Amino acid sequence: MVPEQRTELDQIEAFLESRTETCNGASQSTYAAYLRQFQTWLKSRPISALTVAAYLTELRGRRLAPATIANHYRMLKTCCRWLLEHDRLDRDPFTGAGRVRPLAQKRKRRQVYSEEQVIQLLITAEEQIEARESARQWHGGANPYFLRDALQSRALVLLLCDSALRAAEVCALNCGQIRQEEMIVLGKGGHEDAAFMSPTTRAALLSLTEGRDDDAPLFRDKFLHRCTTRALRSCLRHIAQAAGVPLVPRPLHAFRHFAARQWVKAKLPDLAIRQLMRHSSLATTRIYTELDATELATLHADASPVARLAQAAKGRKNHDGH
CA angle 73, 78, 83 (to 5 degrees): 125
Over 80: is that where the pLDDT of 126 sits?
yes
- Mean pLDDT for all residues in the chain: 88
Q: What percent of the chain has pLDDT over 70?
A: 92
Separation CA 307–CA 301 (nearest Å): 9
Q: What is the mean pLDDT of residues 176-186?
A: 92
pLDDT in the model for residue 1: 40
pLDDT in tens, 213-269: 999 999 999 899 999 999 999 999 999 999 999 999 899 999 999 999 999 989 999
Separation CA 243–CA 263 (nearest Å): 25
| Burial category of 206 from C-beta neighbours within 10 Å (exposed 0-12, middle 13-18, buried 19 and up) | middle
Q: Are 27 and 19 in contact (CB under 8 A)?
A: yes
β-strand partners of 192: 186
pLDDT higher at 316 or 57: 57
Specify the pTM.
Answer: 0.72
Q: How sure is the predictor about 137, in pLDDT bands with cuts at 50, 70 and 90?
A: low
pLDDT in the model for residue 208: 95
The secondary structure of 250-310 as a DSSP string is STTTHHHHHHHHHHHHTT--HHHHHHHHT-S-HHHHHHHS---HHHHHHHHHHH--HHHHH
Rounded to the nearest 10 degrees, how much is the dihedral formed by the CA atoms of 62, 68, 72, 77? 130
pLDDT in the model for residue 229: 93
Packing angle, helices 254-265 and 145-163, rounded to 10: 50
Q: Are 136 and 147 in contact (CB under 8 A)?
A: yes
pLDDT in tens, 106-125: 666 678 999 999 999 999 99
pLDDT in the model for residue 167: 94
pLDDT in tens, 64-88: 888 899 999 999 999 999 999 999 9
Q: What is the mean pLDDT of residues 154-166?
A: 96
pLDDT in the model for residue 317: 76
Over 60: is that where the pLDDT of 6 sits?
no
Q: What percent of the chain has pLDDT over 90?
A: 63
β-strand partners of 185: 193
pLDDT in the model for residue 3: 44
Separation CA 102–CA 306 (nearest Å): 40
Region of 300 on the Ramachandran plot (φ > 0 left; ψ -120 to 50 alpha; else beta) = alpha
The secondary structure of 9-63 as a DSSP string is HHHHHHHHHHHHHHS-HHHHHHHHHHHHHHHHHHTTPPPSHHHHHHHHHHHHHTT
pLDDT in the model for residue 105: 65
Q: How sure is the predictor about 25, in pLDDT bands with cuts at 50, 70 and 90?
A: confident
pLDDT in the model for residue 142: 45
Separation CA 99–CA 159 (nearest Å): 41
Query: Amino acid identity, residue 194?
Result: A
pLDDT in the model for residue 4: 44
pLDDT higher at 174 or 137: 174
Region of 250 on the Ramachandran plot (φ > 0 left; ψ -120 to 50 alpha; else beta) = left
pLDDT in the model for residue 153: 96
Residue 148 CB coordination number (10 Å): 16
pLDDT in the model for residue 138: 58
Query: Amino acid identity, residue 24?
Result: N
Q: How sure is the predictor about 140, in pLDDT bands with cuts at 50, 70 and 90?
A: low
Q: What is the mean pLDDT of residues 131-137?
A: 75
